[in-house]
Amino acid sequence: MNARILGVAAAALCMGLGVYLAVAHRDEARLEEGNVEALAARYPQAIRAIDDVRDGVAGARADVLRGYAEAARGRFPASAPFFSRALRRDPNNWVLHRDYAVLLRLLGQREKAQARMRRALALNPRMTLPVGFAAVNDR
């Protein structure tokens, strides 16, 4: 009896894993489509391609792509939540901290921008500071 229960449980796990892998594969394909569109500067198409990618590693990468795509379209306030969510998922990504700092500065949030830039510098002390952030080293 126990072997039968274990067999059913193993089959259920395999089915669940299969569904997860199918969704992950679909998300990766959509993310790749979004990357291709973004590289061709077709930002609305890139956003549509990744719009429903939310979970896992692909979801984190989709947030990054969406943030950059919105910023490239000049929609800076719309891009901020995507950078913020991407940083919650990947808090040690110095590139995201640096680019989010630049975005925050564009939005007039100087103190938050300075804090993000200090974090980026802490993660990568050799990085070159973007224009307007030279004073971040003095704090």
* Residue of higher predicted confidence among 3 and 58: 58
pLDDT digits (tens, 9 = 90+) for 21-65: 455 678 888 888 888 888 888 989 988 888 878 777 788 889 989
pLDDT of 132: 81
Q: 22: part of which helix (H) or strand (E)?
A: helix 2-39
pLDDT digits (tens, 9 = 90+) for 71-89: 999 999 999 999 999 999 8
Residue the block writes with tokens 């680019």: 99
Q: CA separation (Å) from 42 to 13, 47, 82?
A: 40, 9, 18
Integer-rounded Cα radius of gyration of the chain = 20
- Summarize the confidence of residues 101-120 as an average pLDDT: 95
Q: How far apart (Å, rounded) are the C-alpha atoms in residues 3 and 1?
A: 5
